[in-house]
Amino acid sequence: MATKTITRVDPVQYGKILAIIMAIFYGIAGLFVGLGMGAMFALVPGAGGVGVGAVAAILGLVGGIFGGLIMGFIAGIVGAFAYNVLANAVGGIKIDLE
């Protein structure tokens, strides 16, 4: 078994990967938040009923996806930059490869 050290992470590539992961998670969370908000709006008399709930769920899903893409990409770039600086100072993450 060979031990290797990750000395550098490409910031743009890591930003793309983290953006996709966060878009999936934020999209799911946004859907549930939108459904919850829609359920509350459906209980309010004169608020528009089920139609408002469906719109809130869709907006939560779309907002979560786009928010996750943007924030994931930014967080990925900042995180990779911080890793690269710290890996040079204290050493990178060691992994075992077979």
Q: Give the pLDDT confidence score for residue 47 in this predicted structure.
A: 66
Whole-number pLDDT of residue 56 = 81
The string of pLDDT tens digits covering residues 11-26 is 999 999 999 999 999 9
Per the listing, tokens 């996806």 go with 65
**Cβ proximity of 93 and 7 under 8 Å:** no
pLDDT tens string 37-92:
878 877 777 766 667 777 888 888 999 999 999 999 999 999 999 999 999 999 89
The pTM for the full model equals 0.81
Give dist(CA 47, CA 66) in Å, integer: 27
